[in-house]
Chains A and B, each alone.
Chain A
Amino acid sequence: MTQDDGDSEDGELPFPVIPVDPGTCVLPNAALCTFTVLDGVLVTLVEGPAQWKMQLFERPCPGQDPWLGGQIGEVELSTYTPPAGVPGKPAAPHFLPVLCCVSPPCSRVPHGHLWGSGSFTLEETLFGLLFGADATLLESPVILCGLPDGQLCCVILKALVTSRLSPGDPKAFVKILHHLEEPVIFIGALRTDLRAEEAAEETLSGEDVRSDCLVALGHHGRTLAIKASWDQSGKLVPELREYCLPGPVLCAACGGGGRIYHSTPSDLCVVDLARGGAPLDAEQPNGGPGGLPPLLCPANLNICSVLTLSVLSRAPEGGTELLALSTKGRLMTCSLHPHTEMSSPAQMTMANAGEKIKELLSGIGNISERVSFLKKAVDQRNKALTSLNEAMNVSCALLSSREGPRPISCTITTAWSHLQMQDVLTATCLLENSSDFSLDQGWTLCIQVFSSSSALDLDSACSAITYTIPVDRLSPGARREVTLPLGPGENGMLDLPVTVSCMLFYSLREVVGGALAPSDSLEDPFLDEFSPDVLPEQEGVCLPLSKHTVDMLQCLRFPGLAPPHMQAPSPLGPTSDPVDTFLETCREPGSQPVGPASLRAEYLPPSVASIKVSAELLRATLEDGHLGTSLCCATLQWLLAENAAVDVVRAQALSSIQGVAPDGADIRLIIREVAMTDLCPAGPIQTVEIQVESSSLADMCRAHHAIIRRMQTMVTEQAAQGSSPPDLRVQYLRQIHANHETLLREVQTLRDRLCTEDEASSCATAQRLLQVYKQLRNPSLVLL
C-alpha cells in the first residue's frame, strides 16, 4: 500500500475562484437538509416540524420563485423525533439524512450521470424485488433515503407527482425497506458476483455496472446487505443480512470486486462481500450463484479519520485507488495492491510478515501524527492564554491611566501631499507604545473618520469610514506610523471639519477561536460544527486612544508665503486640471481673469466675520508664546499652530495672512488690536479682533467655526483657572444682548417662512436671512 499526500502538487494551477451571488439561489429554504438531482428534477429533503418531507422540483432556475409551479411532487416520509436536548447531556450529534438515486437497469434513455456515489444502477431482479412491479414497469428511477433514525425507505420517482393541494399519501408512495436502528451514514451498491462482473466488463464499457447487492451502513457500524435470490421453489426472495462492523463510521464507499471501504476515527477498513460466496460455499444446497458471506472480516488499511472517501478506478494490475480526505484536511490517494487487499489477519506466513511489519510501521506513523496534532493543539492553547494575559495587561495599563500621558498613545497630524495628480489632505497617526507590554497578534488599530455632516452626531456611523490596520507586533518603545487620505474625495469636496478617532481593538475570535476548536475532533468529528458557536461574531475588547478634529485652520495653504518649496505646488487649489494650469500660464499678463471664481471676486463682496477677544485673556492663554512679538502675531501663530505654515508665520512675524481653502477659495485672516471704549466703566479694554474674509461663504463659515472652536477651548481652560473678568457696563451688554435676541428671532421667523413660501418670495427671504447671519457674525461682543 502506498500513500501519496497531495502536498507535492501545491504549486500546480490555482483553481479559479467562482463568485456565487445571491441571485443564483435556486431554493431558499432554511430547513433544507440534503438534495440530489436527476434529469433536471431536483429532489430535496426538508426537515419539517414533525416529519421529513421529500419534494420534487422540475428544472429549477435561479431567481425563479419555487412557488410558481416548479414543484411537482411532495410526500412526507415519516414522523421523527427531533434530537431531544436533555439539559444535563450535550445535544446528540446532528446527523443528516442520506439520499441516493437508483437507476432502473433497463432504461433505454441514459440517465444523466451523477456525482460520486449519489447514484447507481441495480440488477433487474434486485431492482424489481426491492421496489416492486410498478417501478420495474415504469422503468422509473427510485430515490433511496437513509434517515438519521435508521429508516431506509424508497420512493418511486415517477410515481411521486402530486398536486400542491394534496401532498402524496405516505402509505402509497413511501415504502420502508428496512430499519437500521442507528443513523444511516451511507447507502451504496456493489457487485458480488465476480465472474459475472468480469464478463460484464468485457461487454459493457465498465461505467454502467449493474450492482447485485445493496448495502447500507449505520453510524455504529451496523451494516445491511440485500441481494436477490431464489428459494427452493424458484421464487424470488430477498436475501438480507446484517453485519456489525467497527464503528463509529465516518464515511464509506463501495469499490469494485465486492469491497466496501469504511472509515472510522481510528482506521480505514475494507470488507469483502464477494468472498466467501460462490467458491467456498459451492456445496451449500440452494445458495444460488452468489450468497452473502455469513461473517465479514474487516482488514485494516492503517489510515485514520478519513472524512470523505471516493474509489477512483481500478488500476491496471488489479489494485484499487482511493481518494481520501482526512479530518486534518489531508487529501490522499491510496493505491491498494491486490495482495494487500487479500491479506487475511488469520493467516500469517513468512512471506507476508514483512508486509505486516510495514503495516505496523505505518500504524506507528499514524499514531505519531495524532500525537503531533494533540501537541499542536496544546501549544495553540498556551499561546492563546499568553496572548490573553498580555492583552489584559495592556487594557489595564490603558484604562487605569486616565490622567497624564497614556502608556500607549496615538498622535494625529495632518499635511497636504501630492498624490496622483491631485493634492490630498492626509492624516498621519503615530501609534507609540511606551508601556512595558507589547501589542501582539490579535490587536488592530481602528481609525474612524467622520466627515462634517456626521461629526456632530457621532452615533450615526453610516457616513463614517473605518480603517482597520492590524498591529502585527509593537514591542515596548516601538512606534508605527499610518497615513490615510482624508480628502478631497471624488467630487473634489472636503467636508470640514473632519473628526479622526483612533482606538485599539483586540479580537478574541482571532486569538482564542483557534484554540477553542476541539482538539479531540478525532474522537467525534461531528462535534466540530459546534465549536464556532462558542464565540459570537465580533467579540473583542475596544480601547479608545485619541480623537482629533481637523478643521479649516489646519487645512489652509498659503501659496504667497516663502519659502515656496514648502507649499503645495498648485496655487489654484487641489482639483486643478493640467489643462487649466497650462491655460493659466499662457494668459497674457494683465488681462482679466476669467472663470466663475474671478467673476465672483469682482462682483461679490467677500463674506466677513469677526471675533473680538480681550487681550488679557489672550495673553493669559499664550503665556510666554508672544514674548518678542506683538500680540497680533502671536495670536495668528496660535491659530495656525497645527498648520504646516506656522514656522513661516513666526519667522515673518505676520499679523494678517491670505490663504487658500481646500476647494481653492481665498481666505484672509486679519488680526488687529482694537480698544473697546464703552464697555467697561474703568476705561477702554484692549481687545484683539480676528477677522475672516473669504469670497466663498461656506469656507468663511468653516474658518469661523474653527476659530470659535479654539476660543471655546481657551475660555473653558481660563475659566477653570479662575481668572476674573473686569468690571463691565451691564447696561451696554444688555443692549447688545437684546439686539442679538431680535436678530435670532428674525432668523427663526425667516427660516419658518422659507419652508412655506413659494420660490419667488423665498429668494427674497433667503437674501434677508443671509444679511441677518452676516450681522450676527460681526458681534460687538468681546470675549473676556
Chain B
Amino acid sequence: MHGPLSDSVGASAAPLPPSEDPCRCPGPASATMSRQTLPDSGCLDLWREQNDRFVRQAKMAQDSGLSLRRQQLAQDALEGLKGLICTLQGIPAAVPVLSLELTVICNFIILKASLAQGFTEDQAQDIQRGLERVLETQEQLGPTLQWGLRELWDSVLRASSCLPELLPAVHHLASLQAALWLSTDHLGDLALLLQALNGSQTGASEDLLLLLKTWNPPSEELDAPLILQDARGLKDVLVTAFAYRQGLQELITGNLPKALRSLHEATSTLCPRSVLVQVYTALGTCLRKMGNPQRALLYLLAALKVGSACGPPLLEASRLYQQLGDTAAELESLELLVEALGVPLNSKAPQLLIEVELLLPPPDPDSPLHCGTQGQAKHLLASRCLQTGRAEDAAEHYLDLLALLLDDSEPRFSPPPCPPGPCMPELFLEAAAALIQAGRAQDALTICEELLGRTSSLLPKMSQLWEDARKGTKELPQCPLWVSATHLLQGQAWVQLRAQKEAVSEFSRCLELLFRVTLEDKEQGASSSCEHGCKSDVVRQQLRSAALISRGLEWVASGQDTKALQDFLLSVQVCPGNQDASFHLLQTLRRLDRKDEATALWWKMEAQTKLPQEAATWSLPLYLETYLNWIHPSERETLLEEFQTSLLEPCDL
C-alpha cells in the first residue's frame, strides 16, 4: 500500500489546478469530497478498485465472441476510465495518487488507441496533461503552459528521479509516448526521449534501435493497479515495429544492406504472424534486389509457410522468377496469387492492446509489399501471358477478367484501379489485342463492338456530325484516344479475316479521328503541357503511324502500290524516327523501281541507326506494343542486308 499522505499535504494545499474546470468532470459521488483535503486511503482504494474493474472489463470484452457485446463492453470501460481520469484530476496532484492516475491514463490511451486502430492528437493531449500533473507536485507549474511535449518530458524525467515510487508509471507513459511518436514518425523526439529514459547523455548513441533495446523499464510492483499492457510488453512491440519500419524505409530508398540488417532484427523479435509474413517478404525483395535470388526464394517460402496472407510473398515470387527468366514458374505464382486473393481474408478482430500493426505506416500502393486486389492480380497474369507470347492463355485470362468485371453478381471483383493500371477501355483493348494475337479475330471484333456500344453515349454525336465533317462545315470533336485505337484493332481483326474492304475503312476512320483531333489540340496545346499530355501525344503519334502502315500494307496486299506509297510516306512524315515505316517505304519504292529515292532513304536510315536511340522513359500501352509487333517486318535485318547488296553493287561497279 501507499505510505501516509502527510508529507505531501503541504504541497497540495495549494489552490486548485489552474486549468481544471471542476464542473466539467462528471465524477462519481466520491469526487464530492472537500477539495482542500487529500483523499484518504479509502478513496484511493475505491479508485484503484474502479480502475481494476474497468481493466477486467476490457479484458472480458477481448474474450467476448459477440462483436456487439465486445464493442459495448470496451466502450463502457473506456467511458469509465475517462470518468475516473476526470475524478482523479479534480483533486490537487499528490504523489501517492499520481501513480494511480498515470496508470489510469495509460489504460485509457491503450484502450482508446486500440479501439480506434490508431493514435490521434487527443492521446498526445492526454499524455501532456499527465506530465503537467507530475510537474504540479514539484511546484513547477509556471512556465509549463507553453512547453511542448519534449520539454515536459525532460523536466518530468528530471523530477521523477527524486520520486522513485512514480518511476514505473512514468516509464509506462513514456512507452506510450514512444509508440505515438513512432506512429507519427517523430523519430528525433523519440531518440531524445529514449536517451533521457536510459539516463545516457545526449548524443551518446544515435541508433534508435539500440536505444530501444537497451531501455529497461522498471518492473511494476506486485500490488500495483491493473494495467492493460505493461511497459515491457509495449517495449517489445516498439522494437519489432521500429525494426520493420526502418527496414522497409531503407528498402524503398534503396539502402539495401541497412534494410537487410533492420529486417533481420525484426525477425529476431517477438513478431506476430501477420507481420512476420511481411518481414519475410521484404527480406525476399531486399535479397532479390541485392542479387541473391536463391536466398530470397528461401525467405519467400518461409513467408508462405507462416501462412496468414499469401498475397505479398506470391507476388514477390513472380517478380523473382521474372528476373530469373523462369516464365512458367512466374505465371504459376501469379495464378496462385489470383487464387489466394480470391479467398476472403478471415482476420480476427484486433486485440484491445497496442499491437505491432498499429505502429506500422499506413499501407501504400507503391510499397513493394502491396499485392493489390484479385482483379489487379488477374490483369497482371493476363498481361504477362500476352507479353511472354502465350497468346492463347492471355486471351482466356482476359476474357475471364472481363466476364468477372461485367458480372453483376460478383461484388468482390473489382477492376485494377485507374492510375497505376490501365483504365477499363484499355483493358478492353488489351483483351482485343490478345484475341487477335491468338487468332480469334471474330471474338476481338465482338469485344471492340461491346466497348463502343457501351460508351456510345459518351462519344461525341458522331452520326450527326460525321456528315458535317465530311462536308467540311464542322470540325470533328475531340475524341478519346481509345476510340481511335478500337478502330485500329477492328481493322487488324478484319485483316486477319481477309476482309480487306472493311479493314481499310476501319483504318481510314481511325486516321480520320486521329488527324481531326490535332487541330483541336493545337489550340489548347499549351494547357496540356503536363506529362500525361506529353505521353498521350506520343501514343497518338504511334497510333497514326501504325494506322498508316496498316492501311499501306493492305494496299500493298491488293497491289495498289501507289496508294501504299502515299500512306508509307505519310507515316514516315508523322513519325520520322520510325524504322518500320521507313522500311515499308523502302520496300515499296523498290517495288516501284524508284531506285534513287530508295537509295536516299536507305542512307537516311543508315544514319539514323548510328544515332543514339533516345531511351524511352515511358512505356507504350500494352495493346499498342502488341500491335506494333504485328506490323514489324519479320525479316527486316536480312532484307535490309539483301537490299544493301542489291542496291549498292551497281554503285560500286
Q: Which A positions have Cβ atoms within 8 angstroms of B?
A: 22, 25, 28-30, 39-41, 48-50, 56, 58, 63, 65-69, 72-73, 105-109, 123-125, 127-129, 133-134, 136-139, 158-169, 171-173, 230, 233-236
Contacts and interface: CB of A to CB of B under 8 A. Distances in A.
B108 to A, nearest CB: 16
Chain B: number of interface residues, binned into ranges: 35 or more
A72 B417 CA distance: 15
B413 A128 contact: no
Given A136-B454, A161-B373, A161-B412, A29 B71 contact: yes
A233 B478 contact: yes
A106 B454 CA distance: 9
Nearest to B115: A30
A254 to B, nearest CB: 22
B347 A137 contact: no
Interface stretch (B8-16, B213-221, B421-429, B624-632): B421-429
A309 to B, nearest CB: 32
Contacts of A67: 67, 347-349
Nearest to A123: B457
Interface string B392-418: 000000000000011011011111011
Contact of A28 (B71, B311, B414, B415): B71
B446 interface: no
B475 interface: yes
A763 B424 CA distance: 87
B475 A233 contact: yes
A692 B349 CA distance: 65
B118 interface: yes
Interface stretch (B42-50, B224-232, B248-256, B459-467): B459-467
B461 A234 contact: yes
B306 interface: no
A133 B425 contact: yes
Contacts of B344: 69, 72
B414 A161 contact: yes
Given A166-B363, A233-B475, A49 B116 contact: yes
B363 A165 contact: yes
B66 interface: yes
B415 A133 contact: no
Contact of B424 (A109, A124, A133, A236): A133
Interface string B238-258: 000000000000000000000
A497 B364 CA distance: 71
Contact of A133 (B408, B458, B460): B458
B412 A72 contact: yes
Q: Which of B68, B69, B75 is packed against the most chain A CB atoms within 10 Å? A: B68
B66 A63 contact: yes
B415 A134 contact: yes
Given A138-B424, A234-B461, A65 B349 contact: yes
B474 A107 contact: no
Interface of B: 65-72, 75, 116, 118, 120, 122, 309, 311, 341, 344-349, 362-363, 365, 370-373, 375, 405-406, 408-409, 411-415, 417-420, 423-425, 428, 451, 454-461, 464-465, 474-478, 480, 520
Contacts of B477: 233-235
A26 to B, nearest CB: 9
Nearest to B465: A234
Given A25-B68, A235-B477, A236-B458, A165 B309 contact: yes
A30 B75 contact: yes
B455 A166 contact: no
Contact of B412 (A58, A63, A107): A58
A152 to B, nearest CB: 20
Nearest to A26: B68
B378 to A, nearest CB: 12
A236 B460 contact: yes
Contacts of A28: 67-68, 70-72
B480 A133 contact: yes
B414 A125 contact: no
B75 A58 contact: no
Instruction: Specify which of A67, A107, A165, A171 lies most central, judged by the most chain B CB atoms within 10 Å of its CB.
Output: A165
Nearest to B475: A233
Contact of A158 (B66, B415, B418): B415
20 contacts: A40-B411, A50-B120, A65-B65, A65-B66, A68-B346, A108-B408, A124-B457, A133-B455, A139-B408, A158-B411, A158-B415, A165-B311, A171-B419, A172-B365, A172-B420, A230-B460, A233-B460, A234-B465, A234-B474, A236-B458
Given A28-B68, A49-B120, 4 more contacts: A65-B67, A161-B373, A163-B345, A230-B461
B415 A138 contact: yes
B457 A125 contact: yes
Contacts of A123: 457
Given A133-B480, A138-B405, A162-B373, A172 B120 contact: no
Nearest to B122: A49
Contact of A164 (B67, B345, B365): B345
A160 B414 contact: yes
B375 A161 contact: yes
Contacts of B405: 138, 158
Nearest to B370: A166
Given A63-B66, A163-B373, A235 B309 contact: no
Contacts of B345: 69, 163-165
A168 B409 CA distance: 21
